[in-house]
Chain A
Amino acid sequence: MTSTVERSRRRKNRGPQDLRSEEELVAERRKGRVGLYLIIPGMAVLALFFAAPVMVLLGMSLYARPPGAEIGEFVPALEFGNYATVVGAYWEVFLRSFLFALIATVAALLIGYPMAYLVAVRLRGRQLMQGILLVLLIAPFFSSFILRTQAWKQILSDEGPVVTVLRAIAILPADGHLTATAFAVVCGLTYNFLPFMMLPIYANLDRLDTNLLEASGDLYASPLTTFFKVTLPLSMPGVFAGTLLTFIPAAGDYVNAALLGNNRDTAMIGQIIDSRFFKVVDYPGASALSFILMVLILALVMIYIKRFGTKELF
């Protein structure tokens, strides 16, 4: 809400001749075409790079394979059975993908929030330290996604340090291993998407007014109470953006599952789409899976926004 003073000041800036009311002006602005023209480039980009591919995807997902067809040969049709087939075959994989993505998102939040808090709030004013820490946190992500994941394979390998220690202290059985397990896949997801969690939270906490924390202390709130009653609620837009930016790519990821998973109980939907598209050359099936994935993610995100959403994202 703008104050009356402010409003009258704004009106003054418009010049003396302009005596129309605020409401009239708003109405005029609504009628104006300028806004419409301004969104044309954005809409064009969306149409070309989002709507068109989605329509192609949707169309392809309904293609049929004529009997005796050559590999990769499909004809336009309305084969809704494609959807039934892939859902029947892969519903468990969808569930698993969302479960893994959810666990990875929660883990990334638990790790990323304290890191963001440390840099943004505790080290406020010490710009050198902040800079160094931020660079250290981001630097690993300058290298390739695949290479980073490969590195985790080495770290978690049977002869590697982690497994050796865990076996020695009997947390892992003597023949136990970490690579090729669901645990490794979730670790990989968490690690690879951590910056997407941390940076929005950091950006948000960086603007946190520390006077509020002091005030909370003056009112006899313990540091813990201050955190839960002041800091956390104020940083919710950052948390909200971070969770979305982590969950969405994690749900569709296939590199982590392919490199760190096994062939029994870690397959994620991205892997299935890849194998249907390239190995089996089932373009309609792969398209149907992609389309379902998109719709499901969209639905989950909508529910999430409705339930927890804040108006201000960043």
Chain B
Amino acid sequence: MSNQNQRELPRDPAVRALIQQAQRMQLSRRRLLAGAGGLGLAAFLAACGTGGTGGNAGNSTAAAVADMSESDKNVFWANWTLYLDYDDEAKNYPTLDEFAKRTGIKTHYAEDIDGNDSYYGKVQAQLAAGQDIGQDIITLTDWMAGRVIRQGFTQELDHANIPNIKNLLTGLQDVDFDPGRKNSLTWQSGYAGIAYNKAKYPKGLRTVSDLWNPDLKGRITVLDEMRDTMGLLMLDNGVDISSGWGDTEFAAATDVLSKQIANGQIRQVKGNSYKEDFISGDAIAGIVWSGDITQMNFENDDQWEFVLPDAGGTLWSDNLMVAVASPRKSNAEKLMDYYYEPEVAAQVAAYVNFISPVQGAKEAMEKIDPELMNNPLIFPSESDLAKAHVFRSLSAEEETNFNSQFQTSIGA
């Protein structure tokens, strides 16, 4: 890029994007509108306007962004809620403070993401136009990570800046949505399985079919995340969800889902808010995420039991990626590298209770909380991992069809 770009640009992503656009002399009217960013109308106009160009726009402009990490000692990170060690008393994130002390880089951490779909809907237009969204690192689940990488919304990582990538668990080193981990790095992983209230349902559950027991009528919730709920239902039907299934298997599982919704067995299909139904007692059992149960048990006297069904559960990961047009890529890479130090990873795992993707974190946990070393939901055993399956990648066509069928069967 020209020297002009080296000049310090305003921090506000919308203004910054506008200036960069102008510098590139590509200032079409539509892009100017999209550059106004925050304005919903403009974003919507852009969402419609750039729909036709797909991901290519992102790719071409990505190369044009200069990395200003040297002069700009900040990094902006969008993540999900309750997903980083937080000190309630000091009101800070200890690992981030340590990172700042070591590198002089200040991390602006935002709990901006409360759903893959909604976050995609929010930033898609700007990313497609190749603009800075004001976040350098975004954290999305496998399938959505696959989508944004395919659409050219992320920057390729320089592994030379992330030497600790060697600590990535072997099973996660090569994933089908990002071969060789060129654009993404695992943040945390977890299972979707089933859980029940131990006091209210002492019999317990072993399989997904047990959720359809008549004595649980109207007290079941399942997740509105298609891959988790449908994955578990298909596994229960004996399908290997990691490969080789198609419309028939999917339809068989939606039949089960529709039937159990229609007869009132399933009370509600929900996202994160299913936790409130467990706590209020409206739901006694259901399809859930593993880490939630650990956290809820911690706060509510150990009321629930998480089970990976005999037929298996789903294994998902959230992935760190550098957004296209982020001008602070090496800062972002430094941050990723830092969180792949086993000691730091253990500190995070002790708080978030999801599966740490970092080799050596288990050993490092000994100094923090030796009890957690034996928590199978943070450091799973080989036999647990053998029961956890990854939902296979879907083509754009399949994804649209399956999403549509799933939404229809949950009445939305």
Contacts and interface: CB of A to CB of B under 8 A. Distances in A.
A71 B147 contact: yes
A106 to B, nearest CB: 25
Given A56-B44, A263-B412, A271-B412, A72 B280 contact: no
Contact of A70 (B48, B54, B218, B273): B54
19 contacts: A60-B48, A65-B400, A68-B397, A71-B147, A71-B396, A75-B52, A157-B281, A158-B282, A159-B281, A175-B217, A179-B282, A262-B261, A263-B266, A265-B411, A266-B411, A276-B407, A280-B404, A280-B407, A281-B403
A264 B404 contact: no
Contact of A56 (B45, B273, B400): B45
Secondary structure class of chain A's binding surface, majority of residues:
loop
B51 A283 contact: yes
Closest 6 CB pairs of A and B: A263-B411, A159-B281, A275-B412, A278-B117, A157-B280, A73-B54
A314 interface: no
B269 interface: yes
Given A70-B54, A157-B282, A275-B412, A280 B403 contact: yes
Nearest to B117: A278
A9 to B, nearest CB: 50
A275 to B, nearest CB: 4
Contacts of B376: none
A111 to B, nearest CB: 26
A76 B30 CA distance: 15
Contact of B407 (A69, A72, A279): A279
Interface in A248-291: 259, 262-267, 271-272, 274-283
A185 to B, nearest CB: 12
A177 interface: yes
Interface string B274-290: 00100011100000000
Interface string A90-118: 00000000000000000000000000000
Interface in A107-156: 150, 153-154
B41 to A, nearest CB: 6
A37 interface: no
Nearest to A275: B412
A154 B396 CA distance: 40
Given A158-B282, A279-B117, A264 B397 contact: no
A52 interface: yes
Contacts of A72: 51, 54, 124, 128, 151
Q: Which of A53, A73, A74, A179 has the most CB of B within 10 A?
A: A73
Nearest to B119: A278
A89 interface: yes
B166 interface: no
B280 A159 contact: yes
A177 B52 contact: no
Interface in A35-75: 48-49, 52-53, 56, 59-60, 63, 65, 68-75
A263 B269 contact: yes
A89 B117 contact: no
Contacts of A73: 51-54
B150 interface: yes
Contacts of A265: 411
A281 B226 CA distance: 14
Interface in B108-126: 115, 117-118, 120-121, 124
A175 B218 contact: yes
A272 B52 CA distance: 24
Contacts of A68: 396-397
B264 A52 contact: no
B407 A275 contact: yes
Contacts of B273: 259
A53 B47 CA distance: 12
A301 to B, nearest CB: 24
B141 to A, nearest CB: 14
Nearest to A48: B41
A267 B411 contact: yes
A293 interface: no
Contacts of B124: 72
A177 B282 contact: yes
A56 B40 CA distance: 13
A180 B411 CA distance: 13
A278 B120 CA distance: 8
A154 B51 CA distance: 42
Contact of A89 (B45, B150, B408): B408
Contacts of A263: 261, 266, 268-269, 410-412
Interface in B336-387: none
A53 B282 contact: no
A196 B360 CA distance: 59
A226 B218 CA distance: 50
A74 B51 contact: yes
Contacts of A52: 41
A56 B42 CA distance: 11
B55 interface: yes
